[in-house]
Chains A and B, each alone.
Chain A
């Protein structure tokens, strides 16, 4: 069974803090990796794709370690608006169109 595992949290951090989320995936054939965020009872929204070389988008940095099948997301200078559930998502492998979601890590940024 192809799984994506995440620490469910919750992570409660003060504004301005740096927080890191981790994710492991079991399917070594996965080729595409993403972080989505989901607000309560809303749709998942793409935060960023994750590349082997690592990538950064403003305060957000994502890293991928294919050998360890491990993905991370770092959020610097947390804002109140960052409060959400962060979903680690991988595709199901070569030739597959489906995305496999983790259960998500809940982040609460506290004033």
Chain B
């Protein structure tokens, strides 16, 4: 069964450093997403990406965040200068249609120290 894959599974970084989280969405999906979940809290939407551009973003997705689809398979989330409060589980997801079922990767646990 096709699945969304994310790397790394765990990333520890120092405050102020840049991190890039990587994702390979399901191959025939056209809509890509990043969500995050702070420990003990709900899953929160960050950004959606369709047709090689951002289609929506949340208030959390400020100028420190960016996304890119550098080739036909990868989808990345970059945090330019990490803050302690960026510590969370980051989930990549993909779907065939926007706003319908999304299938999630196993997540990258980001710890900012």
Contacts and interface: CB of A to CB of B under 8 A. Distances in A.
Interface of A: 31-32, 34, 41-46, 49, 87, 91-92, 96-104
A43 B106 contact: yes
B101 A97 contact: no
- 9 closest A-B pairs (Cβ-Cβ)? A97-B98, A97-B48, A91-B99, A43-B104, A101-B43, A98-B45, A103-B42, A97-B99, A101-B42
Interface of B: 31, 33, 35, 41-45, 48, 50, 55-56, 58, 89, 91, 98-107
Contacts of B102: 46, 99
A96 B42 contact: no
B39 to A, nearest CB: 9
Nearest to A46: B101
Contacts of A97: 31, 33, 48, 50, 55-56, 98-99
B103 A46 contact: yes
Contact of A43 (B33, B45, B107): B107
Most buried by B among A32, A34, A42, A44: A44
A103 B41 contact: yes
B43 A87 contact: yes
Contacts of B41: 103
26 contacts: A32-B99, A32-B100, A41-B89, A42-B107, A44-B43, A44-B91, A45-B104, A46-B101, A46-B102, A87-B42, A87-B43, A92-B45, A96-B56, A96-B99, A97-B31, A97-B33, A97-B48, A97-B50, A98-B48, A98-B56, A99-B35, A99-B99, A101-B35, A101-B42, A101-B44, A103-B42
